[in-house]
Structure 1
Amino acid sequence: MLKIIVPILVLASLIAVVVSLDDERPRADVVLVHGTDLFTLDPQRMSYLHDLRASRAIYEPLATILPDGSVGPAAAESWDVSADASRYVFHLRPGLRFSNGDPVTAEDFKYAWRRAILPDTAATYSSLFLGIAGARDFFNWRSDLLALRAAPDRRDEFIDAGSFPPEEADAILAEDGEASFQRTLDRFDEMVGLDAVDPRTLEVELEGPIPYFLDLVAFGTFSPVHRPTLEAATTIDAVTGRIEEDRGWTKPGRLIGNGPFELARWRFQRDCRFEKNPFYWNAESIPAESIEAVVIQDPNTAILAFEAGEVDWIPDVRAEYRADMIAERLAYEDRFEAILAETGDADLDRTLGSLPPPDAGERRNIHTVDAFGTDFFHVNCRERLTNGTPNPLVDPRVRRALALCIDKDALVERVTRLNETTSGAFVPEGSIPGYQPPEGLPFDPDRGRAELEAAGWRRDDAGVRRNADGDPFPTLDILFSTGSPRYKDLSLALRDMWRRELQIPAEISGRPGNEYRAQLEMGNFMVARGGWYGDYGDPTTFLDLNHSEDGNNHRGYASPRYDELLATAAATLDPDARFRILEEAERILVEEDLPILPLCTYVTVYMYEPDRLRGLTRHPRLDQHPARWSVRR
């Protein structure tokens, strides 16, 4: 035993040294683990989850996602929406300040949103801004301007395409970079429906109603930036007119935000520290004075750091033995089943913390929380496969047969062993207030075999399924990426279920990530691993993937009825009526047509002591806001 304990104690001591090395600051009030370093603290360039989580500490958009998944006010104290839901007027709180004391104004939001729309910025989420009136046309105009300046010999090509009249093209080529950028700013004001009416009023015109626009406004990339800081870090290329920025503006000592915390330290691949912003409008309500994220790449080391008391929260437990840890949590829950059955999600941590401590073989500091994502498999709906042979999966009865023969309980209990919430729907249950996903198809092998036979695939005397022409059912190839054991394990389980329940030949085919993605995008598969996390709090963040013209519709699914329902919902202003239309669209998707085979809601596995860490939400959006976190010492 001593041989085991000593290395653990040494490792824990090393972790403590690394956390505190070269810095005399006291331990932060809340310490969490990042599996990798931050990529950027530029709000308009963010896309990774841990970057966006950090953005909530140092920036504040106009709105915020509340613990129950609804939208509430943040930097804006209120807003007005026109009757046709195409015009929003945001009213900023009085006295808003950046972390250096400068006032926060509507112009700062306009400046930041313009950065996101400009193709120069290469913002991952620029598409979220393109519903603003004129934004898409401006984006295309600016892209063409940059392309013209980079290749003047293409002048006639751009003129013939209607990008510029001849006199404008000539003017663009004759002016220097600064003048070209000023032209861009003027054109933005002319084209885009975004106006800082006064220091506290931002007016937004949309191309048409976007029912979830407030949810977008709460996203981190819609945060303001400190204009003097950005302007000092920005130059204009004299030849191309393209914006070039010194990315160092996001480093400690230079970064200025408007959120509840300010960046105090950021050491590459080691840690970052945030300390309370004294100029934040609601600073008195922030329970923590400081927050620190330490980079621990090895998942086992992260757990050791937690057990040693060096960190308070692991937001993504990835150790190979996490299924065993979850089993210990379930054992603890079994002991207090009656008490916990009467506890809602909002009070679960408080209740857990009040119960007697775990016995041997139990734990209560591991938590599986439903995420805003669904694990599923794609089904190729095209008439023919890429090799030219007929595709039996073009018939929705065959696709329904596959779905009816998936034992999802067995998958989450014995394959993933994470006990995820099984699902027959695409939109995660309970993730969007007011929206009720359909049930989907149950596990019913008898019905599945009936569907397959109704599609003409009957067993002959030798037990081989053949169609009316005598052709045997082709081997069902299940494509997966080899980056995670989960994908292979699920593919093997589905293969065995379909072989056993439907008596059809099936095999699995693993490909490296890039090759798997290429095969998927080419439609070179029959069934393939899938999965999707929602970007915003509306059913369309999932349902749009199956529109016949969507770029993520790798399945070749095309249903005029489904597309029409999505179009009708987009034109419906009444929120309840719109949700009912989308519910019907999803019912068609997961109970009739089955271009996807939903398995379960993804889970995120947290590690924290429920009687110590406060302020986390269990809502599937998992919008964990640092302004709510605290630790009881």
Structure 2
Amino acid sequence: MKTLTHTLLLTLTLLATLTACGPADEPQADADGKKQLIFISNQEHNARDPQRITWTQDIRLADCLFEPLVLADYTAMKLEPGTAEAWTVSEDLRTYTFTIRSDARWNNGEPVTAHDVAYAWQRAMLPDTTAGYAQLLFVIKGAHDFYDFRAAQAVAYAKADPSQRSAEDDYRKALEYFNQNVGIKTPDERTLVVTLTQPTPYFLDLAAFATFMPVHKKSIEAETTFVASTGQLSMDQRYWSDPDRLVTNGPYQLKQARFRQSNELTPNPHYWNRDAIKNSGVKEIIINDPGTALYSYQGGKAHYWPRVPSGTTAAELAANADNRNDVHLQTMAGTFFINANCEPHLSDGSDNPLADQRVRVALSMAIDRELIVNNVTRMHEPVAKTFIPPNAVAGYEPPAHAAPGYDPAAAKNLLAEAGYNDPATLTGLTLLYRSTDPGESLIAQTLSNMWQRKLGVTVKLEGLENRVVVERVINREYTLARGSWYGDYPDPTTWLDRLRKPVGKRANNASGWDHPPFDTLLNQAATERDTTQRLAMLRDAEAMMLEHQPMFFLYHYISLNLYDPARISGIQNNPWFRVRFQDVVVH
């Protein structure tokens, strides 16, 4: 309570002195009259490799440094040419032919080629890369089989006599398999031909996503070696934060990276649309503590603070929104939830009580979501009954009727059916959360208290640094854990595909939920050409998942963003939280 009181007093003091704070240390304009944009991030980056990133703050940085074939304008909800100047689609809607811009250049001056794009997509398909979104590539003909082929190589390598195995030979065979079986061809330097397994209405949206961003083949191959013990490719991850080595094709290039402190970017001198960049560069400052971040923003150290984390600071800012011109609230295409580990056994080999659907549903039914959004976050977010937020996808109505409601009495009956007549015998549960986020700490405490009071179930709490939480969840080394997911493109599959049968330990399906009928419905929807029928199938799939509760959905996000329109303009507020920093003007 002492810490919370101190934070509240600090926040109120800062709010009271709002008008007294001026834009200190304002960046100087360059020769063209442009100034540097400075923004605040709440967490250090989890990854910087475009083929591996999954988190919002990581994608935000990648959008500055790399440019995909297609650009998505999520405010106008339209697609535009990016590194590809044009594309055509075959009559059967399965083959896409992209033409790379003749003036597309890496920041070292070399041309961006179709081979760079093909290499990037191949990297995402390799289990070696541990790409968080590898499954997105599986719409491409032969991609899933290639992934399985390479995974089988790793298994065989591990079993083989060390004197009789060769990582280099295995990789050569994998590349031969790729060239012969995967629907990605590069007939020349500027042409990329992609063949899909079936028509995929959202494929161009995928081509605009970070996983599909091109990377500089020559420099990455120079940083990649084989691990003798596994036969897998391994890359020196320092490449991504080293300005002297990192080669990028986006509007900016990396000038300086300081771990847990800042990232500074300058315009890419060879970017094809260099003249359209409206600032002299971008600087990201990383501040974990919301009180410190607010102090920096109010003191003029930053122009923009996107996604102020939930907690006292955000709640007080939201409460004063009508009296300020720099508080901007935006409903988001994202959901906050609690992951439930659904695997039969926990990482220590013990039986997992959450493998029983009845136990998961009971825990979910004991959560008073209204209390959380009104009294804990105090942001009054829309309570989440479904994974997909309402109005996130045109023509799709989430099946809210399928979600279990708040009913502690029925939850106790479910526990009894599962063999827990005395709920106190349900033991071994721990809720993992990010200790660096004060709002999450409060939510975790509230949930633990609810489960104890409403059900008599003890759930311990474990707060850890964000990076550690991410690794624990990805590897399913937990029982209950905080989770969040933002849609990556405007289609239900960006949420539902996350619940497909896990492909490897590091799959996006962090709950480990495996329900074949759900996968079957998604597969049937993937081949359905009638839009109405397709969305109905996806709705049935979401309803099926909601009945099993592999995650407990709490609320749909509202993003609180701080910026003064008198200081900066050009910020794109949209539910997908994609901002083109090159369009932002610093006044």
Report TM bin, short chain.
0.7 to 0.9
2:7 corresponding residue in structure 1: none
Deviation string for 1:120-159 (max 9, x for gaps)? 5444444433443333443444456567678752789xxx
Match of 1:540 among 488, 493, 496: 493
- Return closer, same or farther for 1:230/1:599 CA change in 2, 3 Å cut-off: closer
1:304 corresponding residue in structure 2: 295
- Return closer, same or farther for 1:26/1:301 CA change in 2, 3 Å cut-off: farther
Query: 1:193 is matched by which residue type in structure 2?
Result: G
1:538-617 aligned within 5 A: 538-546=491-499, 552=509, 554=511, 558=515, 560=517, 562-590=518-546, 596-617=551-572
2:578 corresponding residue in structure 1: 623
* 1-structure distance, mates of 2:523, 2:229: 44
* 1-structure distance, mates of 2:114, 2:106: 13
Does residue 415 (structure 1) correspond to residue 412 (structure 2)? The answer is no
Report if the CA contact (8 A) 2:387-2:495 is conserved.
Answer: yes
1:195 corresponding residue in structure 2: 185
Shift of 1:517: 9.8
SS of 1:531's equivalent in the other structure is strand
* 1-structure distance, mates of 2:152, 2:273: 44
* 1-structure distance, mates of 2:261, 2:474: 37
Query: 2:39 is matched by which residue type in structure 1?
Result: L
Does residue 373 (structure 1) correspond to residue 339 (structure 2)? The answer is no
1:52 corresponding residue in structure 2: 59
Match of 2:88 among 80, 83, 100: 80
Report if the CA contact (8 A) 2:341-2:476 is conserved.
Answer: no
Shift of 1:322: 1.1
* 2-structure distance, mates of 1:255, 1:520: 27
- Percent identity reads 31
Report if the CA contact (8 A) 2:399-2:543 is conserved.
Answer: yes
1:257 corresponding residue in structure 2: 248
1:226-305 aligned within 5 A: 226-233=216-223, 245=235, 247-248=238-239, 251-305=242-296
Unaligned runs of 5+ in 1: 157-168, 333-357, 458-465
Number of matched pairs:
554
1:1-80 aligned within 5 A: 28-38=35-45, 41-68=48-75, 69-80=77-88
* 2-structure distance, mates of 1:134, 1:382: 29
Unaligned runs of 5+ in 2: 1-12
Deviation string for 1:153-204 (max 9, x for gaps)? 2789xxxxxxxxxxxx8xx69xxx5x77655544432232211122322011
Aligned-residue CA RMSD (Å): 5.0
- Return closer, same or farther for 1:63/1:230 CA change in 2, 3 Å cut-off: same
1:261-410 aligned within 5 A: 261-318=252-309, 321-330=312-321, 332=322, 358=323, 363-377=324-338, 399=361, 407-410=368-371
Deviation string for 1:253-290 (max 9, x for gaps)? 44332211222333455433222234322233322232
* 1-structure distance, mates of 2:421, 2:519: 34
1:163 corresponding residue in structure 2: none
Shift of 1:307: 1.0
Does residue 100 (structure 1) correspond to residue 108 (structure 2)? The answer is yes
SS of 1:116's equivalent in the other structure is helix
SS of 1:43's equivalent in the other structure is coil
* 2-structure distance, mates of 1:504, 1:409: 18
Deviation string for 1:509-554 (max 9, x for gaps)? 33466899989999997xx555331463232333345557787384
* 1-structure distance, mates of 2:414, 2:230: 62
Deviation string for 1:204-224 (max 9, x for gaps)? 123444443323222223222
TM-score (norm 2): 0.75
- Return closer, same or farther for 1:134/1:270 CA change in 2, 3 Å cut-off: same
Report if the CA contact (8 A) 1:142-1:184 is conserved.
Answer: yes
Query: 2:96 is matched by which residue type in structure 1?
Result: Y
Higher alpha-carbon deviation: 503-512 or 431-440: 503-512
Query: 2:399 is matched by which residue type in structure 1?
Result: P
Deviation string for 1:439-482 (max 9, x for gaps)? 4479987xx589779x799xxxxxxxx88x99677777775225
Report if the CA contact (8 A) 1:430-1:620 is conserved.
Answer: no
- Return closer, same or farther for 1:410/1:106 CA change in 2, 3 Å cut-off: same
- Return closer, same or farther for 1:371/1:303 CA change in 2, 3 Å cut-off: same
- Return closer, same or farther for 1:294/1:571 CA change in 2, 3 Å cut-off: same
- Return closer, same or farther for 1:277/1:573 CA change in 2, 3 Å cut-off: same
Report if the CA contact (8 A) 2:116-2:216 is conserved.
Answer: yes
Report if the CA contact (8 A) 1:266-1:272 is conserved.
Answer: yes
1:481 corresponding residue in structure 2: 432
- Return closer, same or farther for 1:615/1:436 CA change in 2, 3 Å cut-off: farther
- Structure showing greater radius of gyration is 1
